[in-house]
Each structure stands twice: as C-alpha cells, then as structure tokens.
Amino acid sequence: MKQALTKVGNPNVLVNVISKRVRQLTSAGGAGGRPLIADTGTLGVADIALRELVEDKMAWEVVEPAAEEVRAVTKKRKKS
C-alpha cells in the first residue's frame, strides 16, 4: 500500500484508481478483466490492482475539471 501511495502521491486518487481497476477486474466479459500480472495466486482483486500499480503495469492520469464545471459547483444556492 505504501509503495502504491508513493507512486500516486494522493490517497484519494489512489482509492479512485484502485476502485476503477477492481471494477474492471470484476466486470463480466470486460476487456480489462484479466490481471496484468502473472502470479495472482490467492490474491484478492484489490491486491492484484495494487500490485499492477506498483509494478508499473497500469498508468493513471488526473483530469482537471473544465472552468464551467467549477463555476457550477461553486455557485451559491438561492434562499427560499
């Protein structure tokens, strides 16, 4: 876990990256359903996803929100 966190840098991003990969591994018939590491043994899907990240078998990218999306989120609510 610590090795994966040092690669990503932000615990929130790490959770999102691993969650997405776990969904891919557990989805039925998905293209990303096979593990990218050879020896999975008795590992769970979250452990497989973490090892894939640590062994540089997968990459991730942070996408910044568009300015319009930020404005919509920060808009004040009307008082009733």
Q: Are 64 and 17 in contact (CB under 8 A)?
A: no
CATH class entry, domain 2-74: alpha beta
The mean of the pLDDT values for the chain is: 80
pLDDT band at 30 (very low <50, low <70, confident <90, very high): low
In this prediction the pTM is 0.70
Section 22-48 average pLDDT: 82
60 touches 8 (CB < 8 A):
yes
Residues 6 or more apart whose Cβ sits within 8 Å of residue 11: 5
Question: Could you tell me if 8 and 49 are in contact, meaning their C-beta atoms sit under 8 angstroms apart?
Answer: no
Q: Is the pLDDT of residue 67 over 70?
A: no
**pLDDT tens digits, residue range 10-22?**
888 888 889 998 9
Task: State how far the Cα of 5 lies from the Cα of 1, in Å rounded to an integer.
Answer: 6
pLDDT value of position 31: 62
